[in-house]
């Protein structure tokens, strides 16, 4: 039996459709929800992400505010900008796009965001709410993955979940969200011994390392559900040929453009070993933006109607 493709684009569209009446209600009774995005410098990947986020706001009726300070911005200047948005009456959510230029103290900037406007769920106050399983905005990518699992009826309670990667953005909050749904959770990382053996214990395997195709068939238990968070651009022809020998269309695209996007899991292993998996692209990525919109609407509702 072939593996089920967990379609992040479809689930993202469903989440957005559910947000629309809430946005209409806020707009009619109060004002549109507002999201401020700060993009410092000229990181090409960040610029693409921000364009996608601003487009999503426009499509849903969320008002977006943008600030694009230069590469030379100081920590003090960014702190002042964050404070301006903290005080802005029409801004409900603030997103500071990472990474910031190297001279900026990113931690100080994150902590400066008003927790009540923390659209990314990164502020220590909201991380504490996550740990305690109290309401609040959640990190967007892990929250989106939980939506995906729920909407595809993937059983979580009692399942063994292995999260590979311990970042504050994905790995740690992912593990906590799974734990709150009664999974038995293991976190693996670069110092984990016998990584393949640990991964093979998983009913649900989440790969979030940022290493192209690091996990192979030996890491996946037959029938596991695999969530591939990675987005890595591969420009090596030999590697592309090895990873996509079973997908001629992808190799044709590589020949045209000179690169391909691959996740953290070998794509052939996903198809051959899992019972269900997220594709790259089209899996986790669209959910991240959908949950950013969801967080913004939640924060607007709290500010405008209480709760």
Residue 218 tokens read as: 């030996």
Tell me if residue 117 is catalytic: no
Count of positions (residues) in the chain: 307
- CA neighbor of 163 nearest in space, from 127, 134, 143, 189: 189
Beta strands, E only, 99-172 = 160-164
Which one of the listed residues 92, 118, 120, 266 is annotated catalytic?
A: 120
CB-CB contact of 149 with 141 (8 Å): no
Q: Which helix (H) or strand (E) holds 46?
A: helix 44-60
Which one of the listed residues 97, 147, 172, 203 is annotated catalytic?
A: 97
Tell me if residue 55 is catalytic: no
Using CA atoms, how far residue 52 sits from 119, 120, 122, 293, in Å, is 16, 15, 20, 11
Tell me if residue 172 is catalytic: no
Query: Which residues does 20 contact at the CB level (< 8 Å), separation at least 6?
Result: 60, 61
Site of tokens 């990382």: 189
Q: Which residues are catalytic?
A: 53, 97, 120
């Amino acid at each position: 039996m072939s593996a089920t493709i967990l379609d992040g684009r479809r689930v993202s569209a469903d989440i957005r459709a559910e947000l629309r009446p809430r946005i209409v209600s806020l707009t009619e009774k109060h004002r549109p929800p507002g999201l401020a995005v700060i993009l410092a410098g000229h990181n090409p990947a960040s610029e693409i992400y921000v364009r996608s986020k601003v487009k999503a706001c426009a499509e849903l009726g969320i008002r977006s505010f943008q600030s694009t300070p230069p590469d030379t911005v100081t920590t003090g200047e960014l702190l002042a900008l964050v404070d301006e948005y903290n005080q802005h009456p029409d801004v409900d959510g603030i997103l500071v796009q990472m990474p910031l230029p190297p001279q900026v103290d990113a931690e100080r900037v994150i902590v400066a965001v008003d927790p009540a406007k923390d659209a990314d769920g990164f502020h220590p106050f909201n991380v504490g709410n996550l740990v305690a399983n109290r309401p609040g905005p959640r990190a967007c990518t892990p929250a989106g993955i939980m939506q995906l699992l729920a909407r595809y009826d993937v059983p979580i309670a009692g399942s063994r979940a292995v999260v590979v990667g311990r970042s504050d953005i994905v790995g740690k909050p992912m593990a906590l969200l799974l734990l709150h749904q009664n999974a038995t959770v293991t976190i693996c990382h670069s110092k984990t011994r016998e990584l393949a053996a640990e991964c093979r214990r998983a009913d649900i395997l989440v790969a979030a390392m940022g290493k192209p195709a690091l996990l192979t068939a030996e890491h996946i238990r037959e029938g596991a559900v695999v969530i591939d968070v990675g987005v890595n651009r591969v420009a090596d022809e030999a590697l592309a040929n090895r990873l996509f020998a079973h997908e001629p269309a992808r190799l044709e695209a590589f020949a045209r453009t000179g690169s391909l996007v691959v996740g953290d899991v070998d794509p052939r292993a996903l198809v051959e070993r899992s019972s269900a998996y997220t594709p790259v692209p089209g899996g986790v990525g669209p959910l991240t933006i959908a949950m950013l919109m969801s967080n913004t609407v939640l924060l607007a509702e709290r500010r405008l109607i209480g709760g």
